[in-house]
Structure 1
Amino acid sequence: MHKYLFFVAQNYSYAILRPLQQAIKERGDEVVWFLYGNQINTDYLLPDEKRLFTVEEVIAYHPDASFVPGNMIPSFISGLKVSVFHGFNVGKLNGRGKNDHFNIRGCFDLYCTQGPNTTIRFQQLAEKYGYFNVVETGWPALDPLYSKQITHRQNTSLDTDNEKPTILMCSTFSRNLTCAPHLYEEIKKLSQNDQWRWLVQFHPKMPDSIVSQYKALQNENLTFIETDNVLPLLQQADVMLCDTSSVMLMFILQNKPVVTFKNISPGAHLIDFSQAEELEQHLNYALKRPPELMEEIQRFVEELHPYQDSQSSQRVLDAVEAELKKTNRTRKKKPLNLLRNFKMRKELNYWKF
């Protein structure tokens, strides 16, 4: 029996890892959660999900592998370190002008990639650095989406029998990328007529001032939703309105149109615009699902995430089990990563060596 650890700091981790948890249990293996930091709501943990409360407990647990939907995990935790990603590559750049999705931080032994358009680059990086491996598995978070399961903590107050076209608005928190403040007046106006149903859901780091603005818009046509699992919303909506948040790529994988406001790298698969007053016409165009647009979406999906069999969690576990069986996994050893490990020790308040 394998022992696995979920190492998480954000609420979105619940929806990403629960399909993987189900697959682990189906194999007769064991998994525990370690939640840290002040940005994760521990109330979202279910009664039957086992949690470790201290780093000492994690060390004593001695996991065979840890799954991380974030960027960091300290080296003093035993076992294989597996990156399962917290979203798709949307081309966001870090402070040094580099694509943050491909930032190698020296923490992971295995990257389980989502599709060809990221696998190829990670394979190149694996060849360059020599201390981690890459396996294309698909993304566990999407297993329920393709199996059409309505997953945990669906907002049951939503009117799922509403026959009006549904627009799901999602937005990132980044001041330079968010569409929320720029489209507020247009959405306020459009939500006051009865042609569409609006669902609004923001990144958990969205400023409180903007959240309050949109909560105040709620009426019979617009519902603001706070949730640890966006999948039910993706399933209900006909069109998404977004900016450069990676959640738009989760939505487009259903072969549904996405309208974006000032996307940083718009392609033919998106309906992008830059003038707020044009919002209504672009949403109407998206709802018509024009054939030329739908063909572009299909081509994009095949590169982004071709796996629609709800088996990505199983492929991740297959990749991990294969890695655990290897005697010599990589050409080189991971770097000592002293600065990042010091920062993690400080954050976790763990100073034993």
Structure 2
Amino acid sequence: MQRFLLFATTLYALPILRPLAQAIRARGGDVGWFVATPLLAYLKSGERPLRDLAAVNAFAPGAVFSASNWVPYFFPGLKVQVFHGFNVEKRAPERGHFRIRGLFDLYCTQGPATTGPFQTLAARHRHFAVVETGWPKLDPLFSAQGHDTLDLRPADGRRVCMYAPTFTDGLSSARSLYDEIARQVASGERYWLLTLHPKCEPDIVARYRALGGPNARFLEATDLVDMMRAADILVSDTSSVVSEFVVQEKPVVTFRNRAPKPHMIDVSAADQLEAALRIAESPGRQYRDDVRAWAEQIHPYRDGRSSERVLAATTEFEARWARQLAPKPRNFLRNLKGRLRYHRWVEQAVSE
């Protein structure tokens, strides 16, 4: 199994899959990309796009790695779920992170907090396997070959705050916190790294982008890992970036989190943000212990080698699990929707 297909539907999936691509190439493997048409412009030199099913079939991948909730069932190869984020309890378990759609052969989980529930589901459904590998996206966060983030920190040594809200209606803090974030940026006491989810409304993106200057910088979602490495404190809401940031054992301030936990300094009003930042700058021992405990539950791996573990689990699938699993369920409606989505992408790519 030397050919692998990387499947992405959103911009934030690219930094999840790129560490996998690097690990595949390091092993002498071949990598192809099948992405939603708007993402084609974001592929880098050397990232080979496969534009339609004929190209995918000719490439004949041994496995397809998906950083989405779905994957085209008609693509050849093992279907491997590598997840587009952590479980942040935005929805009920059966509708959110632990929803089983009958599309994947292998789930590569991020840590004990998700491995156990997926193993329980695997025993119930019997048509997929589960292996705890860690999350490829975080490899650069801990790798010695990680990106240089010095240019994201101000030369004057100010603390760096990162702001990264979710886009989900009713959970996003982007509008509620704008005035306070703008006030914080204007004060210049701290340096701010700002980013918004690619699905956020263009008007609010423009407002935050306009805050860039001597006290702040706006970056795209593809730069999230660099931002997390550079920042001292995260400000967010009910976004999976909270968990991504916490695995570094750094403090997080959340705004009206849907399921607040001890590792979060949660606030309910914008005028409470300054006090929360003061706490984050000098956290007590209990809070530091809570952050460390949560990090161990969601992602205990600090070696930057999760992509290698994903590839090892994929390579071992045939020998260890394939013959033990039941056939995946047939779902006519879901498969039809997948076909229609695929055809829209291909038609859009051809028209462009």
Do the structures match in fold with TM over 0.5? yes
Among residues 175, 195, 203, which one is paired with 1:209 in the alignment? 203
Letter in 2 for 1:110: L
Residue 107 of structure 1 pairs with residue 103 of structure 2: yes
Q: Is the partner of 2:187 in helix, strand or coil? A: coil
Question: Deviation of residue 325 (structure 1)?
Answer: 3.0
- Corresponding residue for residue 222 of structure 2: 228
Q: 1:237 to 1:4 in 2, by over 3 A?
A: same
**1:122-201 residue pairs with structure 2 within 5 A?**
122-151=118-147, 158-201=152-195
Letter in 1 for 2:85: G
Q: 1:43 to 1:156 in 2, by over 3 A?
A: farther
- Corresponding residue for residue 276 of structure 1: 270
Q: 1:159 to 1:267 in 2, by over 3 A?
A: closer
C-alpha distance in 1 between matches for 2:280 and 2:69:
35
Kindly indicate whether the alpha-carbon contact (under 8 Å) linking 2:129 and 2:321 is maintained by their aligned counterparts in 1. Answer: no
Kindly indicate whether the alpha-carbon contact (under 8 Å) linking 1:133 and 1:330 is maintained by their aligned counterparts in 2. Answer: no
Q: Structure 1 length as normaliser, TM-score?
A: 0.92
C-alpha distance in 2 between matches for 1:327 and 1:248:
34
**1:39-118 residue pairs with structure 2 within 5 A?**
40=39, 42-93=40-91, 98-118=94-114
C-alpha distance in 1 between matches for 2:95 and 2:321:
33
Letter in 2 for 1:219: G
Q: Is the partner of 1:101 in helix, strand or coil? A: coil
Question: Which deviates further from its counterpart, 11-20 or 113-122?
Answer: 11-20
Question: Deviation of residue 285 (structure 1)?
Answer: 0.8
Kindly indicate whether the alpha-carbon contact (under 8 Å) linking 1:259 and 1:282 is maintained by their aligned counterparts in 2. Answer: yes
Q: Which runs of 5+ in 1 are unaligned?
A: none
Question: Deviation of residue 194 (structure 1)?
Answer: 2.1
Q: 1:143 to 1:87 in 2, by over 3 A?
A: same
C-alpha distance in 1 between matches for 2:100 and 2:10:
20
Q: Identity of paired residues, percent?
A: 42
C-alpha distance in 2 between matches for 1:77 and 1:127:
26
Letter in 2 for 1:27: R
Question: Deviation of residue 174 (structure 1)?
Answer: 1.2
Kindly indicate whether the alpha-carbon contact (under 8 Å) linking 1:241 and 1:259 is maintained by their aligned counterparts in 2. Answer: yes
C-alpha distance in 1 between matches for 2:328 and 2:22:
30
Question: Deviation of residue 37 (structure 1)?
Answer: 4.1
Residue 310 of structure 1 pairs with residue 308 of structure 2: no
Among residues 316, 339, 347, which one is paired with 1:345 in the alignment? 339
Letter in 2 for 1:119: T
Question: Which deviates further from its counterpart, 209-218 or 284-293?
Answer: 209-218
Q: Structure 2 length as normaliser, TM-score?
A: 0.93
Q: Which runs of 5+ in 2 are unaligned?
A: 345-352
Letter in 1 for 2:172: T
Q: Is the partner of 2:203 in helix, strand or coil? A: helix
Deviations 1:322-342 (A, max 9, x none): 103357433310012221211
- Corresponding residue for residue 267 of structure 1: 261
Kindly indicate whether the alpha-carbon contact (under 8 Å) linking 2:197 and 2:221 is maintained by their aligned counterparts in 1. Answer: no
- Corresponding residue for residue 350 of structure 2: none
Residue 26 of structure 1 pairs with residue 29 of structure 2: no
Q: Is the partner of 1:241 in helix, strand or coil? A: strand
Q: Is the partner of 2:186 in helix, strand or coil? A: coil
Deviations 1:189-233 (A, max 9, x none): 221112100111111001112112222333311222224131110
Q: Is the partner of 1:90 in helix, strand or coil? A: coil
Letter in 1 for 2:140: P
Residue 286 of structure 1 pairs with residue 284 of structure 2: no
